[in-house]
A and B are shown apart, each in its own frame.
Chain A
Amino acid sequence: MDFLPMLIQIFSWVFIVLGSCLMVIGAAGMLRFADFWARLHAASVIESGGMIFLLLGMCLQANDWLIFFKLAFIGLFLFITGPAATHAVAKAALSDQSRKNSTKSAIK
């Protein structure tokens, strides 16, 4: 086995394992935190750290440039749509709270 492919394999698996760990930790945080906002923060670990590391690992596994570019496209779109989705959920929660006249409990 050549040195370079082995190095790529090692890096790829380190990234994939790290990303999976972040995903599991984020999921645990979503269950562990009691409050809605804290759960939202735990979910953003999944969509930033976990997503980036898993995609990096998969990019290194890809032996075809087309697959590499497809993964890069997925990463780019998740970078734009992920925060937009989180923001939509957060804003909906905020307007729901103010509808129930309990905004003061959120803004301490």
Chain B
Amino acid sequence: MRSLFISFVLLSLTWLLLSGVYKGLIMGLGLLSVLLTIYFVRRMDKIDGYTIDFSINIFKLLGYFFWLLMEIAKSNIEVVKAIIKGDNHINKKMFFISTSQRSDLGKVIFANSITLTPGTISINLENNQLCVHALNFNEASTKGLEEMDRRVKNIESGS
């Protein structure tokens, strides 16, 4: 019942922010679509039944987000430098890095953060070993990824 209420409020807020037309008929259609969406989601849940472990601390996630923005800025500068220098000055390498997150969501956040920072792309995850491709590989890049792994583990609540 509580999750029903939360999803209703979130969907209504999203609709209100995206619509911008506050007339009776349009609002009614919005309410109808929110209710329909909740009905469909409930119905599909009976078929699927797969639950996602959302054990993430929201405030720590926000802090991590700002740290990630700084990392993106730094690696953007590096990749722009590499582009200007050209093909002969890069050191491409594919390597493995171990993930220490408990939940699937934590691993997804870690892999997505790696891809989001330019210069590194996460390719494959097998047995907690993440295959990463780096544009300009050096000692610092492994250290940076280990630090990122630690920070993502930190935002998981519990444990």
Contacts and interface: CB of A to CB of B under 8 A. Distances in A.
B17 to A, nearest CB: 5
A45 B118 contact: yes
Contact of A22 (B18, B76, B120, B124): B76
Nearest to B111: A87
A73 B18 contact: yes
A87 B17 contact: no
Interface in A34-65: 34-35, 37-38, 40-42, 44-45, 48-49, 52
A80 interface: yes
A106 interface: yes
Contacts of A26: 83
A34 B123 contact: no
Given A29-B83, A80-B112, A82-B116, A44 B121 contact: yes
Contacts of B153: none
A26 to B, nearest CB: 8
A35 B82 CA distance: 14
A49 B92 contact: no
A32 B83 contact: yes
A49 B117 CA distance: 9
Interface in B103-151: 111-113, 115-124, 131, 133, 135
A108 B93 contact: yes
B133 A49 contact: no
A33 B72 contact: no
Contact of B121 (A29, A70, A86, A108): A86
B124 A91 contact: yes
Given A86-B121, A108-B93, A25 B83 contact: yes
Contact of B87 (A38, A41, A86): A38
B158 interface: no
- Tell which of A29, A80, A108 has the most Cβ of chain B within 10 Å: A29
Contact of A94 (B80, B87, B93, B123): B123
Nearest to A68: B17
Contacts of A90: 121-123, 133
Given A34-B87, A40-B121, A94-B124, A83 B80 contact: no
Contacts of B124: 91, 94
12 contacts: A22-B80, A25-B84, A32-B83, A38-B90, A41-B119, A41-B121, A42-B79, A44-B119, A45-B79, A48-B116, A90-B121, A91-B124
